[in-house]
Structure 1
Amino acid sequence: MNILVINGGPRENSNSRGVAKYARELFENRVANVNYFDVRNNLLPVYLGDEEQNQHQEVNKLRRYAQEADGFFICTPEYHNGMSGALKNAFDFLGKTHFNGKPVVITATAGGGKGGINALNNLRLVLRGVFAIVLPQQVVFDLYMFNEEGALLHEDGKNQVSQLVDNLIFVTNLFVSNNRKEMGKC
């Protein structure tokens, strides 16, 4: 099984990164292959649709990770009632061939004890456009769950990530084993 964890938070001390890193740790202890893509540390050019952008190292890394993924765990901050622009830009480099029929868990982080749900709705809408199968369980992590460096410290938050990770592993296993059975029929 291959899982891609994506942090959609571009800020240095992003709380989204704290969620994504914690999820990555849990996945690394539970599944064979985990890739991690961070929109701050894996800087992408602004998507222009130009052919030369297909040669960009980080674009190729993102596309390779997404193509190899059997499932995705994605976290974004909420900016102006939507996902971060950096995450949307990353999705613009991907398409149906990367997500079609693959399960995805979505999470968001919010500041000030409110928000996050609009980012999740925006994220769900974009992922539906590339035929991803977004799992119904989603979580918004509030500001009080993190320290100043963006690390997820709150036990309830950690338990919620653990549940999301378990759900994604379970559903991804179902899809992977079903695909193997279908391929065997050919």
Structure 2
Amino acid sequence: MKMTLIAGSNRADAASTILLRYIESLLKARQITVSFVDLREQQLPLFSPDNWDFHPNAQRMIQQVAEADGLILATPEYHGSISGVLKNALDYLSPERVSGKPVLSVSAAGGPVGVSSLSHLQTIVRNLHGVNCSEWISVGYGSNAFGPDGAPLDAGLKERVGGAVENFLDLTRMLTARGVAAN
């Protein structure tokens, strides 16, 4: 199984990226191949439908998505929605790259939860013909929720993240077995 994780923040030490790195460690511990796209490091030019000669970073991200069996998208919640940097990255994707792939949505908010960003993210996934996981992960109060190793400090949150990842992996196995997701 191969997963592509996209960290949708351009902030150093973003809570959403820390959480995604923790999820990456859970996947790697299960011997799952992970491709990690950090949009802070792999910056993309502003998408324009007038220019289909994409920047190498955009081409690399598109290829990583195309090769994945499943996607995990992480975003901070900004003004009740996803980050501009993640929206820009998703604009580069076409339904043919995402169609039928399971997607787990993850957010981090400065307040208690980031539900609005997750709802918006799932709408975008549906429009790309991806299959939203029945669970999502939202972490509140930013980076105060994580220890120095990136693991959630709260045992309940740690359990919830593990359960959501397991649910996502079950969905990925099911779709891959049916030949829906990429091989």
Structure 1 runs of 4+ aligned residues shifted over 6 Å read none
- Count of residues paired in the alignment: 177
Correspondence 1:133 to 2:131? yes
Sequence identity percentage:
28
Q: 1:184 aligns to what?
A: none
Deviation at 1:152, TM superposition (A): 4.2
Query: What is the alpha-carbon distance in structure 2 between the residues aligned to residue 60 and residue 142 of structure 1?
Result: 33
Correspondence 1:121 to 2:104? no
Contact 1:2 1:69 in 2 (8 A): yes
Correspondence 1:49 to 2:49? yes
Correspondence 1:176 to 2:173? no
Larger Rg: 1
How has the CA–CA distance of structure 1 residues 32 and 137 changed in structure 2, closer, same or farther, with 3 Å as cutoff?
Answer: closer
Give the residue type in structure 2 aligned to 1:73: I
Query: What is the alpha-carbon distance in structure 1 between the residues aligned to residue 32 and residue 137 of structure 2?
Result: 25
Q: Which has the higher helix share?
A: 1
Q: Which blocks of at least 5 consecutive residues in structure 2 are unaligned?
A: none
Give the residue type in structure 2 aligned to 1:79: Y
Q: 1:78 aligns to what?
A: 77
TM-score, normalized by length of structure 2? 0.89
TM-score, normalized by length of structure 1? 0.88
Q: 1:183 aligns to what?
A: none
How has the CA–CA distance of structure 1 residues 150 and 47 changed in structure 2, closer, same or farther, with 3 Å as cutoff?
Answer: farther
Q: What pairs up with 1:14-93 in 2 under 5 angstroms?
A: 14-51=14-51, 53-54=53-54, 56-93=55-92
Give the residue type in structure 2 aligned to 1:51: N
